[in-house]
Structure 1
Amino acid sequence: MAKKDPTASVDTLLQTIRRHHRLTEQETQVIGTYFRRDLFKRKSTLLQAGQTAHRVYFVVSGILHMYYTDERGQPYSCNFFMPGELATDLESFSKQLPAGNAIETLTAAECLSISCKETVSLMQESPAFNKYVMGVIETIAMHNINRTKDLLSLQPEMRYQKLLATRPDIIRAVPQKYIARFLGISPESLSRIRSRIVTLPASH
């Protein structure tokens, strides 16, 4: 379901942008007018594979899950979008082509969403928002490159250790079966890896 007034949530988006870019008062006022506040139940589908991504979602709360399915119907997780992050199938959204991935909510979620056309307009109106979006695109591109390299070159335990070091929020919040899919291993293998990792007691 959707509510039209995003006022209660847009501050989270503005704070995220301000961490990296200076916002003018005019930009602060105009950004909120472009976004719609959406509330989703757990396991809600935001994008189906084969559909065109017409909206981008800023996650206020909850977790979004991007995945694809092979010809046997086996799902593979390729990204998780946590609070403070933008979520969409970037290639589908930017080129307006059918998406190869699907996006669903792993939990109940609150998002701010904006259409493709509105995104272009807002990027033209707000230099800070433009820089923010371009930075997100760059981050996603690097994430995809590094993920491919890791799957090809790192052993499963090293992949887990790297994820633990770089994205402990995912390790804490995402169910183990999805983390296993993301790492390209079975849930049983992930359990064995986790059991081998010894957490040193904190010094006092």
Structure 2
Amino acid sequence: MTPAGTAIHQFLARWDIHNPALVEALVDCAKPASYEKASVILRAGDPATHVGIIRRGLVRYYYSSADGKFWNKAFYTEGDLITAASAGLTNSPSPFTIEALEPTDIVLMPYDRLAELQQSFAELGELVARMITHAFIRNERREAMLLTKNAEQRFQRLLTEEAHLFRRVPQFHLASYIGIDAVSLSRIKRKLEN
């Protein structure tokens, strides 16, 4: 099986979908893409035309302002699906940027072809619905955490639920992700170490 086929097969298996014909149809429309560290995969304001599965690497989603400030929305690693879903589903510009934080290999599949395949494969439409539900719940929990928890509680949540990020994501990006600055994050880490 090709690297793209393996990535697609493994991704579908994570969602308990085991249809070889669907894997083959997705592989037929997939194309590999590679990005260097700090490369933009999708820029805010651009249309989201593809969905990607990360084969290797790490990406961040972030919002930015005209004066250069940024706010990290999410991080994704191997086996994760990436896209600007709201932009792809509504045919509107991406509200955020997707950037490679490490050298990253992705399997890209076009939205229009995926929409066509949903007509032939019911489980693909069901998968989309399940993934939207999963993303909604994740985003709602993150919103609640940012709005109702103090900085130390947000850091503790990060340690508990996304500890893998500490090995790969720079501290200033993690600080932005939990809504604090890097100095505050260092202070919290020192406090908890003592």
TM-score using structure 1 length: 0.87
Q: What CA distance in whole angstroms lies between the structure 2 residues aligned with 1:85 and 1:106?
A: 15
Q: Does 1:35 align with 2:30?
A: yes
Deviation at 1:71, TM superposition (A): 4.5
Q: Which moved more, 1:157-166 or 1:24-33?
A: 24-33
Q: What CA distance in whole angstroms lies between the structure 2 residues aligned with 1:115 and 1:25?
A: 19
Q: What CA distance in whole angstroms lies between the structure 1 residues aligned with 2:119 and 2:2?
A: 22
CA contact (8 A) 1:21 1:132 kept: no
Aligned to 1:105: 100
Q: Does 1:149 align with 2:144?
A: yes
Aligned CA-pair RMSD: 1.8
Q: State the SS of the aligned residue for 2:95.
A: coil
Structure 1 stretches lacking a partner, 5+ long: 1-5, 200-204
Q: State the SS of the aligned residue for 1:197.
A: helix
Shift of the 84–172 alpha-carbon distance from structure 1 to 2, 3 Å rule, reads same
Structure 2 stretches lacking a partner, 5+ long: none
TM-score using structure 2 length: 0.92
Choose from 125, 128, 137 the match for 2:132: 137
Aligned to 1:76: 71
Q: Which moved more, 1:177-186 or 1:23-32?
A: 23-32
Aligned to 1:11: 6
Aligned length: 194
Q: What CA distance in whole angstroms lies between the structure 1 residues aligned with 2:4 and 2:104?
A: 12
Deviation at 1:63, TM superposition (A): 0.6
Q: What CA distance in whole angstroms lies between the structure 2 residues aligned with 1:73 and 1:15?
A: 38
CA contact (8 A) 1:54 1:116 kept: yes
Aligned to 2:57: 62
CA contact (8 A) 1:10 1:32 kept: yes
Q: Does 1:189 align with 2:172?
A: no
Q: What CA distance in whole angstroms lies between the structure 2 residues aligned with 1:197 and 1:191?
A: 10
